[in-house]
Amino acid sequence: MNRWEEKPLLKLEHLTMRFGGLVAVNDLSFSAGEGDITALIGPNGAGKTTVFNCITGFYKPTEGRIALRHGEAKVWDELDAATARPDRRMVRAGAGLYLLERMPDFEVSAHAKVARTFQNIRLFSGMTVLENLLVAQHNALMTASGFTVLGLLGLPAYRKAEKASIEKAKYWLDRIDLMDRADDPAGDLPYGAQRRLEIARAMCTEPVLLCLDEPAAGLNPRESADLNALLLGIREKDGTSILLIEHDMSVVMEISDHVVVLDYGTKISDGKPDFVRNDPKVIAAYLGVSDEEVEAVEAEVLS
């Protein structure tokens, strides 16, 4: 049994998103497993980024449920009960369920611990690399500063928290190899470094699920390989599961454990990389083969 079926972290059920008359995502269901790197792929305009925006709360889906689990997997049994209640989340000792489609965007990150990056990098380019990483620790620091009041008075508890936040930033600077550039404005970094910084910034929110929108776009092969190492490291060392949108098949096939393929807002394939790679529907979607031909190919493969 696959891990995403056995120990799912995120479950999308019957997700539909319409913009006016346009159906961007149509009745999409899939799961992402805990500790997996799940790739969401598909041709341009397939609705991948829309799915991301629904998961991270930037769009409110027209229909469907998006649920995320913290802690023990047993808690999934209570999903329907949690949905029946009007609450956005159900938390008890050692476990929690979050109904992401009910949460506004910032709560998805703050409470459900889902972090994301953007297709067109969104760094705070006039702030330094270090500051970018500190902004990401906003909520933790807010609590430590007693919602600014204690911090203004300069109490030691806040100083300690601030020191810890800088240590954490240093840890990530080391991981993404940008220690030397910590005090430079983020906008001055080369493109590849900006991509890495955006990932590190997302990781500073201590997510359980990291959503990456085309992290390898615009990277050269060497940077791409570094990225693979970084992502695998995040999964191993930090125990964060990853959901990514990617066009670069070398990245997808090399690092992902699970691939979901979208075309015109509908799921056309779902499985291990090897399975998806050989799925005639996927090949057809990418190469632009008509439906009859797909059926023909399918018949051939099956026979």
Partner 1 sequence: MANETQTGGRSVDIGHAAKDALLAGLIALGLFGVFIGLQTVQDISNRLVLKVRPEALAVIVGIIVVGRFLLNVFVWGREPSHKAAVASPSGGLLGMFKRLCFLVGVVVTLVAVVDIGFRLAGGALPNMPISPPGTMGLGSIILIEAVAALFGVVLIAFGQNMTERAAALLGPAGIGFLAAFPIIAILGAGWGGSLKWIDNFGIQILIYVMLGWGLNIVVGLAGLLDLGYVAFYAVGAYSYALLAKEFGLSFWILLPLAGILSAFWGIILGFPVLRLRGDYLAIVTLAFGEIIRMVLVNWVDFSGGYAGISGIPRPTLFGIPFNATDEGFAARFGLEFSPIYRTIFLYYLILCLALLTAFVTVRMRRMPVGRAWEALREDEIACRSLGINTTNTKLTAFALGAMFGGFAGSFFSARQGFISPESFTFIESAQILAIVVLGGMGSLYGVVIAAVVLVGGFEIMRELDFLKQIFGNDFDPALYRGLIFGASMVVIMLWKPRGLISTRTPTAFLKERKTVSGDLVKEGHG
Partner 2 sequence: MEVFLQQLINGITLGSIYGLIAIGYTMVFGIIGMVNFAHGDVFMVSAFIAMITFLLIGALVGSVPVVIAIVLMLVVAMVLTSLWNWTIERVAYRPLRGSFRLAPLISAIGVSIFLSNFVQVTQGPRNKPVPGMLNDVIILVESPTYNVAISYKQIMIMVVTAILLAAFWYLVQKTSLGRAQRACEQDRKMASLLGIDVDRTISITFVMGAALAAVAGVMYMVYYGVVSFSDGFNPGVKAFTAAVLGGIGSLPGAVVGGLLIGLIEVFWSAYFTIDYKDVAAFSILAITLIFMPQGLLGKPEVEKV
Sign of the CA dihedral running 133, 139, 140, 141: positive
Element (H, E) at 275: helix 273-277
Closest CA to 48 of 273, 293, 268, 291: 268
Least distance (Å) between residue 128 CB and partner 1 = 5
Strand blocks (E) in the chain: 8-19, 22-33, 37-41, 63-71, 89-92, 95-99, 114-116, 209-213, 241-245, 258-263, 266-271
- Which residue from 125, 220, 250, 278 is in contact with partner 1, where contact means CB under 8 A? 125
Of 16 and 119, which CB lies nearer to partner 1 in the complex structure? 119
Q: Chain-centre distance of CA 166, in angstroms?
A: 24
Binding mask 53-82 for partner 2 (x = CB under 8 A): x----xx-----------------------
For partner 1, the closer of residues 166 and 225 by Cβ is: 166
Task: Candidates 18, 35, 62, 118: give the one binding partner 1 (CB under 8 A).
Answer: 118
The SS3 of residue 17 is strand
Kindly tell me which residue out of 49, 137, 240, 241 binds partner 2, with binding defined by CB under 8 A. Answer: 49
> Regarding beta strands 241-245 and 209-213, do their DSSP bridges make them parallel or antiparallel, or are they unpaired?
parallel
SS (H, E, C) 170-217: HHHHHHCCCHHHCCCEHHHCCHHHHHHHHHHHHHCCCCCEEEEECCCC
Question: 4 or 59: whose CB is closer to partner 2?
Answer: 59
From 16-24, 37-45, 100-108, 284-292, give the range in contact with partner 1 by CB under 8 A.
100-108
Question: Is residue 98 a contact partner of residue 111, using CB atoms and an 8 Å limit?
Answer: yes
User: What single letter denotes the amino acid at residue 199?
Assistant: I
- Select the binding partner of residue 138 from partner 1, partner 2, none (C-beta < 5 to 8 A, by kind): partner 1
Interface pick for partner 1 out of 23, 79, 164, 182 (rule CB under 8 A): 182
Among 194, 205, 241, 269, binds partner 1 (CB under 8 A): 205
Q: Is 264 in the site for partner 2 (CB under 8 A)?
A: no
Q: In angstroms, give the least distance from the CB of 118 to partner 2.
A: 7
Q: Residue 5 carries which DSSP code?
A: H
CA 266 to chain centre: 19
Count of residues in contact with partner 2, rule CB under 8 A: 6
Q: What residue ranges bind partner 2 (CB under 8 A)?
A: 19, 49, 53, 58-59, 118
Q: What residue ranges bind partner 1 (CB under 8 A)?
A: 56, 58, 105-111, 115-116, 118, 122-128, 130-131, 134-139, 141-142, 145, 147-148, 151-152, 166, 170, 179, 182-185, 187-188, 201-202, 205
